[in-house]
Structure 1
Amino acid sequence: MSLRFALLGLISMKPASGYDLKQTIERSINFIWNATSPQIYNTLRKLREDGYISTQDLPQKGKPDKQIHSITPSGREALEAFVSEPIRSSVTRDEVLLRIFLGNFTDSAAMRRELRSYLERVREERSFLESVEARVSSHPGPNREARRYQLLSLRIKVAQSRATERELIAFFEDETSPSAFLPIDG
């Protein structure tokens, strides 16, 4: 459902082709919401069917026409309605956390290896996100209000990565003290 609104939001900033949207997602909101090209094109088709976007063919020399998508007034209304809804916690389905939760069902050395590998990926993601934050901050662009919200979402994700990193480090530093955790059924 949110891919619809992610695409509407990006198109409202600048009309774009499906390819352009995929590139923009990878450069801007991939840390929040990612999508494959088929998901993007299927969602664009549905948005067009719902009257939320219009599509114009842009002729290209030696290539098929490029389809440029623009938001319609009803698309803008739908986007505004979505953004205006109360912010509430989302239902999380996190395979990584589920695997960690069930970590006692595997060899503990293998689980620790996986957790160390996960820690390295979290560090790499945090470092990448911090570099994106620095780049965005140094090139504020013309729409200051939009940039403030974009930076807020990025900074929240950076903070989540830092918190995950801290918890994993604490786990490795205190591996001998599982009694700190209460039993779930207790």
Structure 2
Amino acid sequence: MNKQNGFTLIELVVVIIILGILAVTAAPKFINLQSDARASTVDGVKAALQGANTLIYSKAAIAGKEADAGASITVATGVVVTTDYGNINSSVTVATVKSNLENAMDMTFEALSDGTADIATEDWAVWSSATTGFVIVPKGKKADDACRLNYTVATKNTTTGVITPAQISTTTTDC
């Protein structure tokens, strides 16, 4: 009788099943898709905010208020956003910034009272610094974490009258 070397079909199927189970359980540990997804959503919110800011600036220009600080712009019936030089402003209170963002972007935000201690428990949270701007963070992050959107308010040079538009940037190294 000839002795054949090799694997039976059943042995091959069992090995393939075991490799499949290992791939399903081990692959997510090697590929961190959650941080990539969170970084992409922060970039998506940045794009949404840029679009909203552009539309608000257009409305401000139509109303002749693109050079005014503290102007109120009606974006829809009964929906008002306060602006500085045609851009969404960073008010003294985080509640006003939250309201401006919700009106401009049609999203819901949680207001953080302390940017270094409070952790966002909702999908998105905002923390405001009245002099420089505001920070938007995803759920589970603080305003000073390296997973955030930074909004620097528009300013006007008092001597030259030159207006610097709002700046929007993201930090996604720790998402």
**Is the TM-score greater than 0.5?**
no
Whichever of the two has the greater Rg, that structure is: 2
Structure with bigger strand share is 2
Structure with bigger helix share is 1
Short-chain TM bin: under 0.3
> Normalization by structure 2: what TM-score?
0.26
